[in-house]
Structure 1
Amino acid sequence: MSDALETGTPPRRRRSDARRSIDAILGAARTLLAERPDASMEQLAAAAGVTRQTVYAHFASRDALISALIEAAGAEAVAALEAANLDALPPADALCRYLDIGWELIRRYPYLLATALARTPPGNEATHTEGAALFERIVRRGRQTGDFDVALPAGWLTAAVVGLVGTAATEVAAGRLGADEAHAAFLASALRLCGVRGRTSGDGVRGRTLGDAVT
């Protein structure tokens, strides 16, 4: 009987209903996982107002659901980076803007710290690689212009800066730093690590020196 009803439903309506269910599940998961990173599929379904069977119809496992969340967040970050037109900015400004966009992503979606920063889930490698490639391009451009130091490999700096994001978020979660303080400390530390010479110019520490940013 259910198959007959499904067959009799117009394809466009089925797609529309499925899209609404998926959006509801992803939206609820973003909110719930930010508060309870260990939330079960049953709890996620309840938060979305759908059955557990509906969740599994769209996402075969909890890992698949989290992977979809990370993919959406990554696409959002890539779109923001593309809109920022970083290649047109001076290297130090481009790096600050890149770091600001990454930090804001973590502030909106803190569950990423327990997943994307620990490992790159299957299916998310392309977004991760795209973001890393842009970071390395900024660093190499800054070295060519003499704005950045050349002491450390660009690939190593990428991994190190990702680690700094996790450290900053941990300090906020533990109550040792406020979000703005953590952002300023993260930005200043990342710029020092990359060997940026002179002032910073990101939104969090605009017009301040690297020393001012962490005092």
Structure 2
Amino acid sequence: MTEARAKRRADAERSRADILDAATRLLADRPDVGMAAIATEAGVTRQTVYAHFASRDELLHAVIDHTTRRAIAAMDAADLDSGTATDALLRMLDVGWQFFRKSPGPDQLGAFAPRRDRERHVPVEDRLLKLIRRGQRAGEFDSAAAPEWLVAAIIAVSHAAGEQVRADLMSIPQAQKTLRRTVLRLIRASE
């Protein structure tokens, strides 16, 4: 690859990253924000945005994929294999709140293809399932409940906590505290 070509490729990758970062910030607060505003925030032209993302829907999917990758990296950085399963589960829940106000969720961006949304949840569900099984083996969590059911229930109450915040019915600290208590009761663990 020539040096000029490598520079163009690096510039294109930087533009794409800038667009994703700008779209993530703007969509977190204004789910209906337009492509022109995203281009302005990213410091590129609208044509540049469309060169990277053929449609607004494609950009929205890319934002959610980008956010998912960042959340998974944060979960991995939380070292979910160390300490008690209860402590690791609470660290995992806290990671979700790190992204809550900074990133739009699928529920904020409208309906997406259910299969693709399901695929996005798989890495989170896998980590959560591993944690639940570890906690059950260690006697920290209720072993009578199916681990898969506990995963589904934890995800559901996590989404409910987020909805309460978005509806201005709870603050983030209130929702975080309530979610932690609810999940501990759900798995019958003590803090």
TM-score range, shorter chain: 0.7 to 0.9
Name the aligned partner's letter for residue 46 of structure 2. R
Aligned to 2:45: 51
- Of the three residues 94, 97, 101, the one matched with 1:107 is 101
Post-superposition shift, 1:175?
Answer: 2.4
Post-superposition shift, 1:121?
Answer: 6.7
Which of structures 1 and 2 has the bigger CA Rg? 1
Instruction: Tell whether the 8 Å contact from 1:113 to 1:166 is kept in structure 2 after alignment.
Output: no
Distance change (3 Å), C-alpha of 1:174 and 1:24:
same
Deviations 1:153-203 (CA, angstroms, capped at 9, x unpaired): 22222222222222212222222211101100011112222222x22xxxx
Aligned to 1:203: none
Distance change (3 Å), C-alpha of 1:93 and 1:193:
same
Name the count of aligned residue pairs.
190
3-state DSSP of counterpart to 1:151: coil
Stretches of structure 2 that go unaligned for 5 or more consecutive residues are none
Aligned to 2:163: 170
Aligned to 2:59: 65
Distance change (3 Å), C-alpha of 1:178 and 1:195:
same
Aligned to 1:24: 18
Alignment partners' CA distance in 2, 1:155 and 1:32: 35
Distance change (3 Å), C-alpha of 1:118 and 1:195:
farther
Instruction: Tell whether the 8 Å contact from 1:103 to 1:183 is kept in structure 2 after alignment.
Output: yes
Aligned to 1:146: 139
Stretches of structure 1 that go unaligned for 5 or more consecutive residues are 1-7, 200-215
Post-superposition shift, 1:76?
Answer: 1.7
Sequence identity, in percent? 39
Alignment partners' CA distance in 1, 2:140 and 2:174: 25
Instruction: Tell whether the 8 Å contact from 2:158 to 2:179 is kept in structure 1 after alignment.
Output: yes
3-state DSSP of counterpart to 1:147: coil
Q: Please list every run of at least 4 consecutive aligned residues from structure 1 whose deviation after the TM superposition is greater than 4 angstroms.
A: 115-121
Alignment partners' CA distance in 1, 2:184 and 2:112: 22
Aligned to 1:160: 153
Name the aligned partner's letter for residue 190 of structure 1. V
Alignment partners' CA distance in 2, 1:191 and 1:23: 38
- Of the three residues 23, 30, 37, the one matched with 2:31 is 37
Alignment partners' CA distance in 2, 1:118 and 1:92: 33
- TM superposition score normalised by structure 1: 0.77
Post-superposition shift, 1:14?
Answer: 1.0
What are the within-5 Å matches in structure 2 for residues 87-106 of structure 1?
Answer: 87-106=81-100
Are positions 1:132 and 2:122 aligned together?
no
Name the aligned partner's letter for residue 14 of structure 2. R
Instruction: Tell whether the 8 Å contact from 1:103 to 1:165 is kept in structure 2 after alignment.
Output: no
